[in-house]
Amino acid sequence: MEPVIRVENVVKRQAGRGLGRRVKAFTAVDSVSFSILPGTTLALVGESGSGKSSLALCLAGLERVTSGRIWFEGRDLAALEEKELRMVRPRLQLVFQDPANSLNPRWTVGEIVAEPLLVQSRISEREGHARAAQALERVGLAAEYLERKAQGLSGGQRQRVAIAHSRRSVVRARLFDSGADRKPARGNAASVWAGVSIHHARFENGGASG
């Protein structure tokens, strides 16, 4: 069975940052290798500052590795041009520890989750509301959350709303940048948890299944 993601000797050097002064560059990720198979979840656990978030950004194609390879669907992300990466990124969903800034604070959870369904599927608002309730149920949130505002939810609940909002069949792997005490919400894609959690997506009958 072929891995969904295979990481080979990835190194990520970060430029030093300081307040008005030069700071020595440092190695955030040092020779990391692992594979994730279809239908599995991989958790990377480490202290704050150990490079988990830096690795997640590299896996999502948002930052370039210094050296090494990241294989996804038969392609080395580290070797792709920016135009090619833009085509791959929708298949790799990065869910931040608290995605509050990506959720409209004036909308209800139901409106947030239903919005891409209404735009992409051209369905009625009633059907969009019903599908939003189903999407929330798949990530472990009851239908009662539909009428709540995102700003009133916990960080973990906002993560689940972000997953429900972007649930689509093209997502093959989800990368969770989370606190070590928080497990990723169940979904239908691959994951990296506890700093980074990678959860693989499974598909049935042309769609995603949880």
Backbone angles phi, psi at 203, to 5 degrees: -125, 140
**Phi-psi label, residue 198: left if phi above 0, alpha if psi -120 to 50, beta otherwise:** beta
* pLDDT computed for residue 50 by the predictor: 83
Task: Tell me the pLDDT of the chain (210 aa) as tens digits.
Answer: 788 899 999 999 987 665 566 667 889 999 999 998 888 888 888 787 788 888 988 998 989 999 999 999 889 999 999 999 988 887 887 777 667 777 888 899 999 888 877 766 677 888 888 989 998 998 889 999 999 998 888 888 888 888 888 765 567 787 877 654 444 444 444 444 333 445 544 432 223 323
pLDDT of residue 10: 96
Distance, CA of 192 to CA of 147 (rounded, Å): 30
pLDDT for 147: 94
Q: Could you give the domains of the chain?
A: 5-209 (3.40.50.300)
DSSP per position, 48-115: TTSSHHHHHHHHTTSS--SEEEEEETTEEGGG--HHHHHHHGGGEEEE-S-GGGGS-TTSBHHHHHHH
Question: Which tens digits make up the pLDDT trace of 8-39?
Answer: 999 999 876 655 666 678 899 999 999 988 88
